[in-house]
Amino acid sequence: MTTIYLALVDDWELSGNGSGDIRQLQFEPMRRLVNIYNRLGIRGSFNAEVMQQITFRRFQNEQSELRVLADEWENVVRETFRQGHDIQLHIHPQWQNAQYQDGRWILTSDWSILNYSRETALEMLQGGKDYLENLLKDIDPNYRCVSFRSGAWCIAPSPHMLDVLVDIGIVFDMSIVAGVKYDTRNIKLDYTQCEEAFLPYYPVMTDARKISDTVEPIICVPTNCFYASRRQVLRGHLDKIVGKVKNTISRPAPVSHNGRSVEAYGGEWAQIDGSLAKRIYRKGIVPYIKGKHTISDLAQLDYALMMEMLDSIRKRSRASGLTEVPVVLENHTKDLHNFSDLERFLERAVQSSDVKFITLTELARNLKHKFKVHTRSLIEHAAKNNR
């Protein structure tokens, strides 16, 4: 039997455009999620978006409310860490040079760290890593940032990003989500040709989408994705149709969750590539041909989809031929409105004999001593033996 090691990873942040109530989007749901983890004996991991916090500190002398919020941010992080959960590095570079006007953030910098120079990227990452390590070292002197997830998944291709991560001591990156493609006003990204979607691997240092022929100084652990069944796709489409009909009848006011406009923020991620016909084909036809490509973001999945995800993980783990497989699951507390489905799923997973839970720090350690990390030659050799 293959043992699956699930890393429950939360990108802990405000909206990408800086909008939202930090207490409702971050502090309150994090505490609630931690309570669920504690009850079930799970240790989770939180990717703390540090550029945001550093920016709050930069303006704290001019805006006293930002000092209060920045202090609370630190208190929540420290208390979460003190309870045994992991804190790791997450960076959204659009916070660079942010301005605070009339109680709201104005973010004008580029959303993709791939578009920054090596020196600027190094400064942002080193600054974020130093901030977290200085914050938590009095609780655990051995604490280190060992993993990284880039904002909006932006890690490849790049002539320097993986080298920068190596320079600051990062053991593994988890920014790759095979199959994802974005063409939005903020992000241009194409991971549709990734060479590994599931297992840890050594990446080509200039393009993390590709597997290296040799051992490299950093590892890529893909964030899990799967194909939702046609039945779930149909159910999702029917739910949307019913929701639109209800909205038309009741004519509700624009929906706002936690201090941010859902419609306005959704526009930040609207795909701009292709015609209406292409969008209909991509969203309305392709999912019924081969299922819907779905990121394992627990905030976006209901219980049925979470169980489909776990079934997919089990099948891929068995197919790998390995006895131990680490899997990174995503979450966004800012989007987590239904805790009941997630709690139900975790209750089920905890009871499964083939599932264990692991923090990112534990994952980094086990990548060196326990889990197999692939090179191209290893994969080709395994494929040849399976023929």
**Sequence ranges of the domains in the chain:** 3-225+293-386
pLDDT: which is higher, 377 or 156: 156
Mean pLDDT computed over 320-339: 96
Give yes or no for a contact between 60 and 26, defined as CB atoms under 8 angstroms apart. Answer: no
Beta bridge partners of 189: 182
Tens digits of per-residue pLDDT, 203-232? 999 999 999 999 999 999 999 999 988 776
**Cα separations (Å) of 358 from 6, 48, 275, 364?**
6, 18, 43, 10
Tens digits of per-residue pLDDT, 55-108? 999 999 999 999 999 999 999 999 999 999 999 999 999 999 999 999 999 999
**Cα separations (Å) of 225 from 129, 197, 293, 307, 352?**
27, 8, 7, 13, 21
Give yes or no for a contact between 125 and 165, defined as CB atoms under 8 angstroms apart. Answer: yes
Residues 6 or more apart whose CB falls under 8 angstroms from that of 106 comprise 18, 98, 99, 100
Helix (H, G, I), strand (E, B) or coil at 55: helix
The C-alpha atoms of residue 67 and residue 273 are separated, in whole angstroms, by 41
Residues 6 or more apart whose CB falls under 8 angstroms from that of 228 comprise 236, 287, 291, 292, 294, 305, 308
Quick check: 342 pLDDT over 70? yes
Tens digits of per-residue pLDDT, 355-375? 999 999 999 999 998 999 999
Question: Which segment of 94-98, 128-132, 284-288, 289-293 scores lowest on mean pLDDT?
Answer: 284-288
Handedness of CA 15, 73, 44, 317 (dihedral sign): positive
What pLDDT shows up at residue 259?
A: 54
Burial class (CB in 10 A: 0-12, 13-18, 19+), 301: buried
Quick check: 387 pLDDT over 80? no
Give the mean pLDDT of the chain.
Answer: 90
What tokens were used for 354?
């083939």
pLDDT: which is higher, 250 or 195: 195
* CATH number assigned to the domain with residue range 3-225+293-386, chosen from the 4 options 1.20.1440.230, 3.20.20.370, 1.10.10.60, 2.60.40.10: 3.20.20.370
Give yes or no for a contact between 356 and 35, defined as CB atoms under 8 angstroms apart. Answer: no
pTM, whole model, 2 decimals?
0.90
Question: Maximum CA pair distance of the chain?
Answer: 66
Classify strands 45-49 and 256-257 as parallel, antiparallel or unpaired.
Answer: unpaired
Helix (H, G, I), strand (E, B) or coil at 46: strand
- Long-range contacts from 276-282, C-beta under 8 angstroms, 24+ separation: none
Give yes or no for a contact between 250 and 242, defined as CB atoms under 8 angstroms apart. Answer: no
Quick check: 384 pLDDT over 90? no
Percent of the chain with pLDDT over 70: 83
Helix (H) or strand (E) holding 213: none
Helix, strand, coil percentages (3-state) for the chain, rounded to 5, are 45, 20, 35
DSSP character string of 139-200:
T-TT----EEEEGGG---S-SSHHHHHHHTT--EE----TT-EEESSS-EEE-TT-S-SSS-
Quick check: 202 pLDDT over 50? yes
Question: Interhelix angle for 64-82 vs 118-136, to 10°?
Answer: 70
Amino acid residing at 227:
Y
Among the listed residues 376, 333, 327, the one whose alpha carbon sits nearest the alpha carbon of residue 352: 327
**HSE on the CB side for 145, CA within 13 Å?**
30
Tens digits of per-residue pLDDT, 231-267? 766 665 466 565 555 666 765 555 454 555 444 445 6
What pLDDT shows up at residue 238?
A: 61
The C-alpha atoms of residue 20 and residue 126 are separated, in whole angstroms, by 27
The C-alpha atoms of residue 187 and residue 228 are separated, in whole angstroms, by 25
